[in-house]
Each structure stands twice: as structure tokens, then as C-alpha cells.
Structure 1
Amino acid sequence: TLGDVLTDANGMILYVFAKDVAGSSSCLEGCLDSWPIFYTEEAEIGSGLESADFGVITHTNGSMQTTYKGWPLYYYAPAGDGEVEAANSTSGEAVGGVWFVAKPNYTIMYANAQLVGNDGNNYTSDYEEGDGATAYFVNSQGRTIYTFVNDSKDTNNYTASDFSNDAVWPVYTKELDGIVSTLDASDFGTIDVFGESQMTYKGWPLYYFGQDTERGDTKGVSVPSPGVWPVVNKNIAAAE
């Protein structure tokens, strides 16, 4: 039911953590008892995968950890004792709403992190200044996805007909493929925007922010003022 997933050479399922959107591991100390690090010194890549998508980082505890498309990879140990689940078991999927099987074809992934605007201020999920993690959609490379409050159902009210402002807020043109299991594919759609296909979620057209240059950047949440360009999560109200 989950489609193609990443495993190690023994069929042990690999996972990603929504809080790792920036590319470093946020699973520390006791967390690693339930989510042991996956690392291989020389990755022999299976059919359908690209070696360029794999990398290695150093965990804060000094261990090496393999990454996929910038996401650190883990196993799952259900009892919290470091004993990894059986091969081909996916019991770690959607645990806590932040752990998901690693897949090669994600179009939409989930992040869970502090929102930091282009003004350098931290924001809550209500777009008030303050600290606290917010859940939001990103693409497979960890790039944040937004909506625009002045749009309406299946209607892009931002993009100019000549796409002269597209560099500021590029339309999200991907076709829906893989999504995390907590999302419903029927909530996604597409609209035509001057000949380009733009993905929608619950009727809201989806965008990137041109100044988000690093994984997990959420600079757009403060532009031109907080909340005008909200991040997207599954609890967003449907567009009208």
C-alpha cells in the first residue's frame, strides 16, 4: 500500500523524520533508541535509484549517517530498545505524525520545524512572533510550499500573464506522485495558469518562495507581512 520504499540490503525499511527538514538530525539521545541511525560506508545503489541522491552527514553524537535527498535515514525499533523491526515491516510509518518511510517518489513531504521569516523573526503557526514548531508541506528536497491568502478556490490571483513575477513566488508545477500516508490524494488537484499546470491543495494554488535558498527555509511567511503567504498543512481550511 505504500508503494516503492527504501530499504537496506537486508530488506530493513528506512525512515525519515519531519523535524530533519534542514538536513541535520533532530533525533537525539533517547530518540535514537527507537530510531537507530542508518549508515553504510559504500552505498551500492539498487535499480531505480540515483547515487547522487545519497550522502553522509555527521550526527551530533559523532556517528556517521546516510542521507537520501538530504533527509537523514533511520531504522525503527518499536520497543525503544534499539532492536530494529523485522525486514519488510513498516510499523514506523506515520508514528507521531512525524516519521515516514523513505520513498524515492515523494512529491509532497511533511516538515515540522520553527518558522523563521525573511525578517529573521520566529513565528508560530498563527503567524505571531514566537517560538514553536509548525507542520508544513515541503517537496522531496525540503523546499517549503505556500499558499496566497488573496487566491480563491482553484484560482491563482497572483501570477502575471507574462510570468514576470514568477521568480518571486514561482508556481508549484509538479505532478502528484508520492505523498505521505497521512495525506489524502483527493485533496490535490491542478489548475491551468496561462498555459502552466499549477498544483492545488484543497483548492488552494501552491507556490514556492524565490528567496528560500536552503532546505527548510520559511522566509516567505513574513512577506510582505506575516500570514499573507501561509505555509500549507493538512489542517488548512478548503479554499472558497
Structure 2
Amino acid sequence: MKLKQLKFAAALVITTFFLSCSSDSGDSGDNGGNNNPPTPEVKKAVSLATSATLGSYLVDKDGRTLYFFSTDANGQSSCTGGCEALWPVFNVDNLTADKLGAGLTLSDFGSITTPSSKKQLTYKGWPLYYYAPSSDDGYGSVMNKLEEAGKTGGEGFGGVWFVAKPDYSIMIVRSQLVGHDGKNYKSDYTVGDGATTYFTDAKGITLYTFKNDKFKKNNYTKEDFSNNAVWPIYETDKIVVPSTLDKTKFSVITVFGKSQLVYNGWPLYYFGQDANVRGANKGISFPAPGVWPVPVKDIAAAVAP
């Protein structure tokens, strides 16, 4: 009898030992035997999304599309009053490199204060916005609601709102023309006030055409580029443009070994006296109004040589 009791006691000790070991070993499932829960994935404050039609563009941590406004060519927010409800500012406090998705560089971002004293993040000098279209709330009132993640309904809105892309080679701006003589000019290059919608590069630096050029023929630049400082060619072979423009009207020519972007047959240039200042367009009156007009969407095609 005592022998049976001893055997039972021994079996009980062994069973308790194995159960204790099994319990101490932790979970055998999702967390790989570690009692600490898995670390959740941290969403990036700004990252890139991709569209089959628009290519890459900036989104926030929730996948909501970010936008540029054409009238912000000088790098300051011009969306005021009722505009702010439809296009709320986007901001991230204390942005750091680890908060950015792949393909984005911290030095391309900055911060401004809007006329209504809000902080706003900029990208390559362009203030960033959300799109918040108005809709009926179901109770007879109209309200503005942030666009859903993955949507790009603000693209091309009014011809002046575009998704914030990292690789534009052309941007559309709407601004007052102010010549090197300090006078304001209208779109027909007569003196007067009125905004003109024209092309710049990705950073808002104004581009120009030369009235003496021919179809895909640069008649200004010298072979040794000795006059290139006055009217530098827009040297790029990239064609990434807002969706409201006809991409087929852009092309690239070779000018003494360098690539120059062309629109509707017109080679594109910078003006040296603009000194790479965003929004400056002094060249429209140099040496006289209309000799170096800014490129616009509906410019007539250049004449064949």
C-alpha cells in the first residue's frame, strides 16, 4: 500500500514540473514565444502613393492626398477666407527624417505661417493642403469633409490645384507679371493688373519662350554657351506635368550637347535676372515686353524653320 502511495506521489511531482515548464515557455503562436506584444507599425507622417494615371504623389499618415496651389508660386499661402474650408492646411510639427516614407528627403520640407496664423508644411517650397469638398450632412446643412484616403478629386480643380508630386518638371502658376522695369503687365504684355497662368519649373522658377525661335529650334543660345547666363536653357529631359496639360506637346531637343525642354515647339528658358527667385518674372519686359513671353497652355505652336 505504501509502495502505491509513493508511486502516485512521484507521478504527481513529475506532472507538476512539466506543466510549470510549459507555462513558463510563453506563447507558441504569433509573438514567437515572447510575452511582450508585437510592436505596431508606425505610420509615416508623409509618404508617397502611386496612381496609374498620376504617378507618385504625397499623402499623409492616413493615405490622404496632399495638394499644391498654383497661386502659391512665391512660397507663401494664398488660400485665405472661404478657401481655407475647402483646402485645409497640412502640417506636421517637428518633422524628422524617420517620419518620412521612402523616396522623400527631409531637406525638401519646410514650414511657413499662413495669413490666418496657422502652421503649414511646405514641400520644395510649395505649401501643402488637403482637399475637403462640401457635402450635405443629411440634416439640410452643408459641411466640408476631408477627402477620403486614396482619392485625388482635387487634381486639376479650377485649373490651379494639383496633387503634390515629387518629380514635376513643369508646374502651372497663376501670378501677376512684373517686369524688370517694375511695371505690372497683363497677359497681352500691355501695362496693367491681372494674373496670368503660365509655366514654371518644379520649384516655381519662371520659364520663358523666345519669339525668334522656330519649331524645336533654339535660335538664341551660342555654341559656347557664352550667353547662357542671360537666358539659361531649361536643361532637362524629364516630362512630368500636371494632368490638365497635354503631355504630347512637350518634347526634348539637343542644344550643343545639352537637353532642352520644349512646349508646342517652343524651347524653354530661364531669365538670369530672376536669380532663381520663386515667382519672379522680370524677363517678360526684357529687352521689351513680349520678346520673351512666358509659356502658357494655349500658346500657338512655333513656326517651322
What's the TM-score, normalizing by structure 1? 0.98
| SS at structure 1 position matched to 2:169 | strand
Q: CA deviation at 1:197?
A: 1.5
CA distances 1:17-38 after superposition (whole Å, capped 9, x unpaired): 0000000111001100100010
Q: Distance in 1 between matches of 2:218 and 2:75?
A: 32
Q: Specify the SS of the correspondent of 1:149.
A: coil
Asked if 2 retains the 8 angstrom alpha-carbon contact of 1:36 and 1:82, the reply is: no
Which residue among 210, 235, 238 is the counterpart of 2:298? 235
Kindly report which structure 2 residues correspond to 1:87-236, keeping only aligned pairs within 5 A, or say none: 87-213=149-275, 214-236=277-299
1:21 aligns with 2:73: yes
Q: Which is higher, the Rg of structure 1 or of structure 2? A: 2
Structure 2 runs not aligned, ≥5 long: 1-52, 136-142
- What amino acid maps onto 2:74 in structure 1? A
Deviations for 1:182-223, whole angstroms, at most 9, x for unmatched residues? 111110111121111111111111100011121010000000
SS at match of 2:121: strand
What is the SS of the residue equivalent to 1:41? coil
Query: What residue in structure 2 maps to residue 53 of structure 1?
Result: 108
Which of structures 1 and 2 has the larger relative contact order (alpha carbons within 8 angstroms, sep 6+)? 1
Any conservation in 2 of the 1:4–1:103 contact (CA below 8 Å)?
A: yes
Shift of the alpha carbon at 1:13?
Answer: 0.3
**Pick from 140, 143, 147: which aligns with 1:85?**
147
Could you say which residue in structure 1 is the equivalent of 2:124?
69
TM-score by length of 2: 0.77
Does the 8 Å CA contact 1:105/1:177 hold for their aligned counterparts?
no
| Contact in 2 for aligned 1:32/1:82 (Cα 8 Å) | no
How far has the Cα of 1:177 moved from its partner? 3.5
Question: Deviation at 1:116?
Answer: 0.6
d(CA) in 2 for partners of 1:160, 1:212: 21
Q: Verify the 8 A CA contact 2:239 2:251 in the aligned structure 1.
A: no
Task: Tell me how far apart the structure 2 counterparts of residues 197 and 5 of structure 1 sit (CA, whole Å).
Answer: 26
Question: What letter matches 1:172 in structure 2?
Answer: Y
CA shift, 1:8, in A, is 0.4
Greater helix share, structure number: 2
Q: Is the 8 A contact 1:35 1:82 kept in 2?
A: no
Q: Quote the Cα distance in structure 1 between the aligned partners of 2:177 and 2:297.
A: 17
Q: Does residue 10 of structure 1 match 2:62?
A: yes
Please state whether the residue corresponding to 1:158 is helix, strand or coil: coil
Q: Secondary structure at the match of 1:48?
A: coil
Give the Cα–Cα distance (whole angstroms) in 2 for the partners of residues 145 and 230 of structure 1: 9
Contact 2:239–2:247, Cα closer than 8 Å, also in 1? no
Q: What are the ranges of 5 or more consecutive residues in structure 1 without an aligned counterpart?
A: none
Amino acid at match of 1:141: K
Count of aligned pairs? 240
CA contact (8 A) 2:74 2:204 kept: yes
Q: Alignment RMSD, CA only?
A: 0.9
Q: Runs ≥4 in structure 1, deviation > 6 angstroms?
A: none
Instruction: Give 1:161 shift.
Output: 1.2
